[in-house]
Amino acid sequence: MAYPQELINEVLDYLDSGHSVREAERRFGVGHESAARWRRLRDGNLRANRPHPVKYPQDTVGLALGLAYGGHGFGLDEVAVMVGVSAPTISNWKRRYVEGGHMDIPEIDPDEIKHLSPDGRARMTDEELEEYIHKLELKAAVLEGTVKVLKAEGIDDLSNDEKAAIVDALPASFTVTEALPEVGLSSSSYCYCKAKPERPDRHGRARAAIREEFALVGGKRGYRYIRQRLREREDPIVVSGKTVRRLMAEEGCRVSYAKKRRSYSSYAGEISAAPDNLVARDFHAEAPNEKWLTDITQFSIPAGKVYLSPVIDCFDGMPVAWSIGESPNAELANSMLEEACGQLADGEHPVCHGDRGCHYRWPGWIGICAERGIVRSMSGKGCSPDNSACEGFFGRLKNEFFYDRDWEGVTTEDFIGQLEQYMRYYRDERIKESLGWMSPMQYRKSLGLAA
């Protein structure tokens, strides 16, 4: 970022008055490093726009010094073209490394000089030129095989088994004998790699179990769930989450997430005064029946539309009660609330939070809340994040139960039966990590909160 010179001068004056660069940072809003740099630049302790030096490999340095000062008759400009660096850089290397006593002038193989020098290549015979081209093609093939087959950074990063695989993958125009030195593998090591029996897959049992567990949940649960199921098997399989994720990818076990559909809306305008948002996006509860969330979601199948109205407890995500029907009427919401209230103990008066749907503003709903001591709470207008925990429940439900399934030929009555079965499964059997890999009902039983 470029700062005005006037600001820079003000900062420098401030520093000269005895203040620190940190104080200048707070006062003027500039970085303390910038302030310190401006002061060094003014005092002559820093060159402006100093370029970063380019670091060359030691082999390049040695080659350039050997060609230029090894008595081969090349001038600095010629060597600069051959090696690909500037002539002044080579002079600096001589002064720094040779005259500084850090290295001697390297000896260069005449054959290498012949290949480097354009004039030398021009004097090569046809056979020598063909051999030179063949070697270059071999180098290119090895590098291409390294990247394409093994996705490695370079040949030096490979194991002997991987180097042997590269040699076997080379085109037939290259012999094994000439390819082995290029990949840095001895003939004995190559023969050993070829003779070794193929090692069994140490994750073979885990792969089979992963496919089985993934199929049992219809491909709707991720690697954390699968890993836990492997540990709970009769013959437990203990592997890391990272390994499970990799094996699932290799086996094609990918969870499909449906794109967001247009959701059902029960909003009918501001037909009555809305209560305050008492939950304020804090979906945590210390005990059951402190905070409830509710909403209505729609399932559209060829046979018609089905609606679900649940109450979700913020304590553990349990669906406390629910109602399912073919019409999103007052009876759907009110019957669900009555069922949920029937599970309350004396003195329990939960906050029940919903969106601004008309169901929660009709006299029937308001009357039940007043009679049972339920404290009403509502989201802001058009603000779905205010009830995001309930929306998240619907998202999980639809990904696992509804999306990517063929509902052709299924009646609404059959669909309601299957949805009812899933809701009981979610409450009683569906384990999740946040509850210590227990279902909501199992979790409550472990705490002595349910019989």
- Mean pLDDT, 10 residues at a time, over the chain (451 residues)? 79 84 83 83 62 65 81 76 78 77 73 56 59 72 60 64 80 80 85 75 87 88 90 89 89 73 52 77 91 92 93 94 91 92 90 86 88 88 84 90 88 94 94 91 90 71
> Considering only CA atoms, which of 268, 326, 333, 271 is closest in space to residue 296?
333
366 close to 329: Cβ distance less than 8 angstroms: no
pLDDT for the residue numbered 221: 87
pLDDT for the residue numbered 267: 47
pLDDT for the residue numbered 318: 94
**SS3 of the chain: helix, strand, coil, percent, to 5:** 50, 10, 40
Distances (CA, A) of 6 to 43, 267, 334: 18, 58, 70
SS3 435: helix
pTM above 0.75, yes or no: no
Task: Say how many CA atoms lie within 13 Å of 276 toward its Cβ.
Answer: 4
**CATH of span 291-446:** 3.30.420.10
pLDDT for the residue numbered 110: 66
Residue pLDDT, tens place only, 142-180: 666 655 555 555 566 677 887 888 888 777 777 888 888
pLDDT for the residue numbered 289: 93
Q: Where are the domains of the chain?
A: 5-42, 58-122, 126-193, 204-250, 291-446
237 close to 206: Cβ distance less than 8 angstroms: yes
